């Protein structure tokens, strides 16, 4: 193997060693793995919660200011370049990779949880609790997460397509540290962090998604919730997501994303029609009012002298999780965004999906909260306490329950596959020196690794620990993203406008 080949494989080999070390740790010492991951995560969120809040707020401001600045008209590519994908397919791919499965999982569960168990002394089941539930769901799934994705995606797309740099996170830093260091040890460490965050985040989602699909089958068709069933689900899904990743973006990933968009729209329309339609539109309007009105206050809310238990377990955890996902989602979004302007990119990546999320949570959240009028409050609270079955438990109290549940399971599977095949593609890029069209053998390898990691941790009960440690390990990405903003501004300052 020549020297260049060894150099190119450093991130690949180093990442494999770290990932398999984590798997073995979780498998043979699950108690210690859980204790350490919780301790590290607790230390970071307890001492740096303020930093997560300020960083995410900064990302929102940075993206919007850049979009509407004089640099907004700059193309992500040569000046004469055109977008590779039509806008609907582009939106479908970025939405599916970014958080599609999360919306299905939490669309009912999160608003219902906050409604039945609100913090800050709010009365459970009250109008105030309902307002808090909708506003909070909008906050957690709106501008902030998509802004974090746009930071990485925009910087990468700019340097990849306009400056002809490799599709690696380290490429963003060339204006700050020079090309030699970006390609050296420091750059390899940055890219290694990106690989680990991606593998751990997606493996966790594969495991959690498998549990919810199994729960859906159990409620609909009495399929038992067993390890064997879960192994079958994850095996079938793995074959499909590797096949679509190997098929490439145009044939596999794009096609599945288009299907996702259609299914999600059909499901949303059904929920609006069979649910309390007027209340849904009122919830959307009222929720947006509270969300916009309290945007700055909620973005930076953390007690200096009071209790931050809720903030740490919900908001800061979400912010840390979105940052952990930013390398993978941002890289994939960058890969499909050649030819778009900076303004078009930010509005498409940050504003459009946020609006879709608001409509989604208003619809599904209201469906759950409205159930207070149909069943006893203790029963509603019990539904809210089991996140992976909350949607199915709520829907069965409305018309067309079976049809909606079946569409939901199909959508869970397709969103599940979209996130996994996007991640597989990105991991192959990261470990192929940023090649925008990596070899199929590397895609297949990473697909198998993700599936095996999910299976091992599913069987050993270590999924939650992996999620927590991946969130903790992604802490350095706060600084990587902030410096990425500075590097982008420095590079844009040399553009002739």
pLDDT, tens digit, for every residue of 409-431? 888 888 888 888 888 888 888 88
Residue predicted with more confidence, 367 or 471: 367
pLDDT band, residue 1 (cuts 50/70/90): very low
Instruction: Name the residue among 409, 410, 91, 85 with its Cα closest to residue 248.
Output: 85
pLDDT, tens digit, for every residue of 182-192? 888 888 888 88
Q: CA 362, CA 135: separation in Å to the nearest integer?
A: 10
125: pLDDT strictly greater than 50: yes
pTM for the full model?
0.91
% of the chain residues with pLDDT over 70: 97
Structure tokens, 21: 């070390």
Q: CA 41, CA 464: separation in Å to the nearest integer?
A: 12
Residue keyed to tokens 């700055």: 296
What mean pLDDT do residues 41-66 have? 93
Instruction: Find out whether 90 and 259 touch, Cβ atoms under 8 Å.
Output: no
pLDDT band, residue 2 (cuts 50/70/90): very low
Half-sphere exposure of 475 (CA within 13 A, CB side): 18
Provide the H-helix boundaries in 68-184.
87-98, 100-116, 127-141, 143-157, 174-183
pLDDT at 387: 83
pLDDT, tens digit, for every residue of 472-492? 777 888 998 999 999 999 999
Q: CA 467, CA 206: separation in Å to the nearest integer?
A: 11
CA angle, residues 425, 418, 479, in degrees to nearest 5 = 60
Structure tokens, 467: 């999620």
Residue predicted with more confidence, 396 or 249: 396
DSSP-assigned beta bridge partners for residue 32: none
The separation between CA 96 and the C-alpha centre of its own chain, rounded to angstroms, equals 9
Instruction: Find out whether 400 and 168 touch, Cβ atoms under 8 Å.
Output: no
Give 362's contacts (C-beta < 8 A, 6+ positions apart). 134, 280, 281, 283, 284, 287
Query: Based on the number of CB atoms within 10 Å of its own CB, is 58 exposed (0-12), middle (13-18) or buried (19 or more)?
Result: middle
- Other Cβ atoms less than 10 A from the Cβ of 178: the count is 11
pLDDT, tens digit, for every residue of 291-308? 999 999 999 999 999 889
Any idea where the domains of the chain sit in the sequence? 3-492
Task: Report which secondary-structure segment, H or E, holds 258.
Answer: helix 254-274
142: pLDDT strictly greater than 50: yes
Could you write out the DSSP letters of every residue in 286-334? Answer: HHHHHHHHTHHHHHT---SSS--HHIIIIIIHHHHHHHHHHHHHHHHHH
What's the mean per-residue pLDDT of the chain?
A: 88
Instruction: Name the residue among 174, 477, 203, 139 with its Cα closest to residue 331.
Output: 477
Fold exhibited by the domain 3-492: Amino acid/polyamine transporter I (1.20.1740)
Please tell me whether residue 224 adopts helix, strand or coil conformation: coil
Residue predicted with more confidence, 250 or 390: 390
What mean pLDDT do residues 420-445 have? 86
Could you write out the DSSP letters of every residue in 143-170? Answer: HHHHHHHHHHHHHHHIIIIIS---SSGG
Give 17's contacts (C-beta < 8 A, 6+ positions apart). none
- Other Cβ atoms less than 10 A from the Cβ of 35: the count is 12
What mean pLDDT do residues 248-272 have? 84
Task: Report which secondary-structure segment, H or E, holds 356.
Answer: helix 352-369
pLDDT at 465: 74
What mean pLDDT do residues 126-153 have? 95
463: pLDDT strictly greater than 80: no
């Amino acid at each position: 193997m020549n020297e260049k080949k060894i150099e190119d494989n450093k991130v690949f080999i180093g990442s494999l060693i770290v990932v398999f070390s984590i798997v073995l740790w979780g498998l043979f010492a699950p108690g210690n793995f859980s204790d350490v991951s919780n301790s590290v995560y607790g230390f970071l969120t307890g001492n740096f919660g303020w930093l997560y809040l300020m960083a995410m707020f900064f990302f929102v401001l940075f993206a919007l200011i850049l979009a509407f600045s004089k640099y907004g008209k700059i193309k992500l590519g040569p000046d004469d370049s055109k977008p590779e994908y039509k806008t609907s397919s582009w939106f479908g791919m970025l939405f599916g990779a970014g958080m599609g499965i999360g919306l299905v999982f939490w669309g009912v569960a999160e608003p219902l949880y906050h409604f039945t168990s609100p913090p800050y002394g709010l009365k459970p089941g009250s109008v105030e609790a309902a307002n808090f539930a909708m506003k909070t769901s909008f906050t957690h799934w709106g501008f902030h997460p998509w802004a974090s994705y746009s930071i990485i995606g925009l910087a990468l797309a700019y340097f990849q397509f306009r400056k002809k740099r490799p599709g690696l996170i380290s490429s963003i830093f060339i204006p700050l540290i020079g090309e030699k260091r970006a390609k050296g040890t420091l750059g390899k460490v940055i890219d290694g962090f990106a690989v680990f965050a991606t593998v751990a985040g997606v493996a966790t989602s594969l495991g959690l998604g498998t549990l919810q699909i199994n729960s859906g089958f159990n409620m609909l068709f009495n399929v038992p919730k067993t390890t064997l069933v879960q192994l079958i689900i994850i095996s079938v899904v793995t074959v499909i997501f590797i096949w679509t990743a190997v098929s490439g973006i145009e044939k596999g990933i794009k096609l599945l994303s288009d299907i996702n968009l259609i299914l999600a729209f059909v499901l949303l329309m059904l929920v609006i029609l069979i649910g309390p339609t007027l209340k849904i539109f009122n919830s959307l309007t009222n929720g947006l009012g509270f969300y916009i009105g309290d945007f700055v206050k909620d973005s930076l809310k953390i007690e200096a002298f009071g209790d931050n238990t809720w903030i740490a377990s919900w908001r800061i955890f979400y912010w840390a999780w979105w940052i952990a996902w930013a390398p993978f989602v941002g890289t994939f979004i960058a890969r499909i965004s050649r030819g778009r302007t900076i303004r078009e990119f930010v509005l498409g990546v940050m504003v459009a999906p946020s609006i879709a999320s608001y409509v989604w949570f208003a619809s599904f959240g209201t469906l759950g909260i409205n159930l207070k009028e149909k069943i006893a409050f203790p029963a509603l609270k019990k539904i809210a306490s089991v996140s992976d079955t909350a949607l199915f438990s709520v829907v069965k109290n409305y018309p067309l329950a079976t049809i909606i549940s079946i569409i939901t399971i199909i959508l869970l599977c397709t969103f599940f596959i979209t996130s996994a095949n996007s991640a597989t593609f990105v991991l192959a890029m990261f470990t192929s020196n940023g090649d925008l069209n990596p070899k199929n053998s590397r895609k297949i390898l990473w697909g198998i690794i993700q599936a095996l990691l999910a299976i091992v941790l599913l069987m050993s009960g270590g999924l939650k620990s992996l999620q927590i440690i991946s969130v903790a390990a992604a802490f350095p990405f706060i600084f990587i993203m902030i410096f990425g903003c500075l590097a982008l501004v420095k590079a844009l300052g040399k553009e002739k406008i």
